[in-house]
Amino acid sequence: MASLQEQINIYEQEINAFIPTADADLENYRIKFLGTKGIVKALSAEMKSVPPESRKEAGQLLNAFKQLAEGKYESFKEQFQAGANKAQAIDISLPGTPLPIGTRHPLRIIENKIVSIFEKIGFNVATGPEIEDDWHNFTSLNMPQHHPARDMQDTFYVSQNPDWVLRTHTSSVQARILETQPLPVRVICPGRVYRNETISARAHCFFHQCEGLYVDKNVSFADLKQTLYYFVTEMFGADTKVRFRPSYFPFTEPSAEMDISCTVCGGSGCNLCKYTGWVEILGCGMVHPNMLRNFNIDPEVYTGFAFGMGVERITQVKFQVNDLRLYSQNDVRFLRQFQAL
């Protein structure tokens, strides 16, 4: 029988030459050298027959051999594990982490709808700044300093500059359009506006409007009415009744407010229409000659109409939302309830 030393020499050569290419090779190696019936165990068993005076030396030999066999196994096992982890990190077959899909804000749904209705009849979208100067928000709109109509709107002033305000209406965009665009113009102007109101279910310090402006030769009040009839039919349905009431705005003459028959109760009376059967949805009128003159447009040659509606108001009518605060609280349980129109 070969001595312990000789046997170990042979096995050591085998171990040093061993390079596993698959998990199974490594497992076979483990069973062969380190398993319960493996070579390390078998050699240890032979220790019994080693004469006592050589035992110490034999034990050291065996120990070194055991460490070699185990070390080899552990290092390959680690390599295989690292390889497996790496493969896992780039496993392109794994499904991605799902991102929840949001919904459109109800005000945006309504704004988009308003804009698309007017785009169909040739209106272009125009926008302007939310921090506005006195000229575009008031003076050019036929509201000079100290004009009593300025009190109709509770204005936020910007402390850095006494000439600046947070625009109180989108009519400021009308002014900017007349100032810069060649005639004729036909624009729809959605945007956020600000008023110094105490926040409640029915009032907010900011809200949204959509302004319309059409200036050309021979534009009449009949054009204004037809345009708005078309809007009401598209937005609320052909059965909706419309009425105009005389009103006052400094930048239009004549001016009117437009009501529609209540879409909730059909006119019989409910909370939305305050039991009147009618819901006010916008202000409108023929562009005031003074305003045209402010932009060097001759009112004898050109006429125009303008209208402005509250997006929250239309949304309230369409979706029966009864508290303005819901629009800015960002509660997804509220926001998820609305489908695009």
Tell me: does residue 302 bind ligand PHE (CB under 6 A). Answer: no
Q: Are strands 252-261 and 164-166 parallel, antiparallel or unpaired?
A: unpaired
Q: Is 306 a binder of ligand PHE (CB under 6 A)? A: yes
Among the listed ranges 66-74, 143-151, 259-267, 280-288, the one in contact with ligand PHE (CB under 6 A) is: 280-288
Axis-axis angle for helices 39-46, 4-17 (nearest 10): 170
- Any bridge partners for residue 192, and if so which? 208
Distance CA 18, CA 275 (A): 93
285: contact with ligand PHE by CB under 6 A: yes
303 binds ligand PHE (CB under 6 A): no
- SS3 for 153-175, per residue? CCCCECCCCCCEEECCCCHHHHH
Nearer to ligand PHE, 66 or 169 (CB): 169
Number of residues that bind ligand PHE (CB under 6 A): 11
The nearer residue to ligand PHE, 44 or 290, going by C-beta atoms, is 290
Tokens at 321, concatenated: 């939302």
The alpha carbon of residue 256 and the mean position of all alpha carbons in its chain are separated, in whole angstroms, by 36
Site string for ligand PHE, 154-173 (x = CB under 6 A): ---------------x-x--
Rounded distance between C-alpha atoms, residue 122 and residue 326, angstroms: 33
By CB under 6 A, tell whether 249 contacts ligand PHE.
Answer: yes
Stretch that binds ligand PHE, among 125-133, 238-246, 263-271, 278-286 (CB under 6 A): 278-286
Residue nearest to ligand PHE (CB): 308
> Contact at 8 Å (CB) between 80 and 26?
yes
Residue 177 found at the interface with ligand PHE (CB under 6 A): no
Q: How far apart are CA 250 and CA 232, in angstroms?
A: 25
Cβ nearer to ligand PHE, comparing 106 with 310: 310
76 binding ligand PHE? (CB under 6 A): no
Q: From the CA atom positions of the chain, what is the Rg in Å?
A: 41
Give contact residues for ligand PHE (rule: CB under 6 A): 169, 171, 211, 249, 252, 283-285, 306-308
